[in-house]
Amino acid sequence: MSGGQFVSNCTADAMARAAEVLAAGALVAFPTETVYGLGADATNADAVSRIYAVKGRPADHPLIVHLADMQDIADWSDDIPDYAIALARSFWPGPMTLILKRSSLAKDFITGGQDTVGLRVPNHVIALALLNEFKKIGGKGVAAPSANRFGHVSPTTADAVSKELSEYLSSGDLILDGGASLVGVESTIIDCTTESPKILRPGAITEEMIKEVTKLNLSYDATEIRVSGALENHYSPLAQVLLDIEPQPGDGFIALSRYETPEGVHRLASPKTDEEFARQMYTALRSADTQKLIRVIVKQPEGTGISIAIRDRLQRASRGR
Ligand code: TXA
Ligand code: MG
């Protein structure tokens, strides 16, 4: 193992030190309720460029800026529609990213040259402690993509971050261990730059929830999606992901617990609910690779709610790497 010091005892002191590490321009991988993020000072071009290097991600892909508090969005955007404020009030801290017109603080190295910026207040004690400590020493926000190599499965544990990135991290970088992420799929991304909100990436905050709070109808427009998570090949393990077919002996298998495991098949997860499915899915896909399986068969959960996000990620994963 090379870089990335593991911090498993996330005390207040440790979080204050982690904030200093960010301020010094190094990287801090941290837990959120959705997935783990790879964080850097969002105002430091050099620090942010290291995120791209460590992830192996093309540089024109915008990053989400993570904030300690909803009030902080005023630093990053000076054009915030009322419905975005309503969404922030209802769902932050939480698994939702708002895309807003950027202020001059949001430089091209954050926005990928677009005139918008993605903002999120995560709902995780360690993430919030880190963000608050960083704010205390003058930090404006923490840019953080999911802490995986580009195109790969997002990590939902510190161990997965370490396996994925430690060979690319430096000795001054940190990996904060906050246990397994409770939601398990990335935040809902909502474009708030038009008259009505538009979902760019489904997540735990669903269309119904957004409609209920904003009293607006949502618009979808796939052609405008500039989200890297919306690229065809994404969220993929090395194993081939096949959806809704009968697993054969030797295959990995992920399905709700009510589906039985055929003889000779490696059961990778048996979640009881859709929420549990979301929480276990990425760890299960990773375990297919650890077990060197060639194929993993997934029985997709049906219906609405979080299962829309689950099917979105599975369909991308099934398109391969
Ligand atoms: O749950 C999450 O959102 C996690 C945790 C760590 O917060 N983060 C995450 O980041 O999933 P990332 O970079 O892996 O995915 C964020 C997506 C990217 O595909 C990016 O293209 C999109 O958000 N994005 C960021 N800023 C954007 C903008 N201004 N306009 C459109 N899409 C944007
Ligand atoms: Mg990602």
Mean pLDDT over 222-234 rounds to 52
Distance of CA 227 from the midpoint of ligand 1 (Å): 7
Task: Look up residue 293 and give its two tokens.
Answer: 């399986």
Per-residue pLDDT of 136-195, as tens digits, reads 999 999 999 999 999 999 999 999 999 999 999 999 999 999 999 999 999 999 999 999
For the Cβ of 102 lying below 6 angstroms from any atom of ligand 1, the answer is no
Spatial CB neighbours of 286, under 8 Å, sequence gap ≥ 6: 153, 155, 160, 237
Confidence of residue 59 (pLDDT cuts 50, 70, 90): confident
Spatial CB neighbours of 248, under 8 Å, sequence gap ≥ 6: 262, 264, 265, 295
> Closest ligand 1 atom to the C-alpha of 95?
1
Mean pLDDT over 26-50 rounds to 98
> Closest ligand 1 atom to the C-alpha of 186?
1
For the cut 80, the answer to whether the pLDDT of residue 229 exceeds it is no
Q: What is the pLDDT of residue 73?
A: 98
By the 10 Å C-beta count (0-12 exposed, 13-18 middle, 19+ buried), 6 is classed as middle
For the cut 50, the answer to whether the pLDDT of residue 226 exceeds it is no
Amino acid at the residue 128? L
Mean pLDDT over 24-53 rounds to 98
For the Cβ of 63 lying below 6 angstroms from any atom of ligand 1, the answer is yes
Q: What is the pLDDT of residue 250?
A: 98
Distance of CA 165 from the midpoint of ligand 2 (Å): 13
For the Cβ of 97 lying below 6 angstroms from any atom of ligand 1, the answer is yes
For the Cβ of 120 lying below 6 angstroms from any atom of ligand 1, the answer is yes
3-class SS of residue 73? helix
> Closest ligand 1 atom to the C-alpha of 114?
29
Q: What is the pTM of this model?
A: 0.96
Residue 226 to residue 164: CA distance in whole angstroms: 25
Per-residue pLDDT of 82-139, as tens digits, reads 999 999 999 999 999 999 999 999 999 999 999 999 999 999 999 999 999 999 999 9
For residues 201 and 306, the answer to whether their CB atoms sit within 8 Å is no
Nearest Cα to Cα of residue 276 among 187, 188, 156 = 156
Residue 106 to residue 126: CA distance in whole angstroms: 24
Distance of CA 31 from the midpoint of ligand 1 (Å): 15
Confidence of residue 306 (pLDDT cuts 50, 70, 90): very high
Spatial CB neighbours of 272, under 8 Å, sequence gap ≥ 6: 256, 257
Mean pLDDT over 226-250 rounds to 81
Strands (E), 20-170: 28-30, 37-41, 64-66, 96-101, 116-120, 142-143
Distance of CA 267 from the midpoint of ligand 1 (Å): 31
For the cut 50, the answer to whether the pLDDT of residue 224 exceeds it is no
By the 10 Å C-beta count (0-12 exposed, 13-18 middle, 19+ buried), 292 is classed as exposed
For the cut 90, the answer to whether the pLDDT of residue 227 exceeds it is no
Nearest Cα to Cα of residue 145 among 73, 201, 214 = 201
**34, 55, 97, 306: residue to mutate for ligand 1 pocket, most atoms within 8 A of CB:** 97
Q: What is the pLDDT of residue 145?
A: 97
For ligand 1, atom 10: residue with the closest CA: 145
For the Cβ of 77 lying below 6 angstroms from any atom of ligand 1, the answer is no
The percent of residues above 70 in pLDDT, for the chain, comes to 94
Mean pLDDT over 24-44 rounds to 98
For the Cβ of 146 lying below 6 angstroms from any atom of ligand 1, the answer is yes
For the cut 60, the answer to whether the pLDDT of residue 286 exceeds it is yes
Q: What is the pLDDT of residue 21?
A: 98
Distance of CA 149 from the midpoint of ligand 2 (Å): 8
Q: What is the pLDDT of residue 223?
A: 45
For the cut 70, the answer to whether the pLDDT of residue 26 exceeds it is yes
For ligand 1, atom 17: residue with the closest CA: 227
Mean pLDDT of the chain: 94
For the cut 80, the answer to whether the pLDDT of residue 231 exceeds it is no
For the Cβ of 37 lying below 6 angstroms from any atom of ligand 1, the answer is yes
For the Cβ of 225 lying below 6 angstroms from any atom of ligand 1, the answer is no
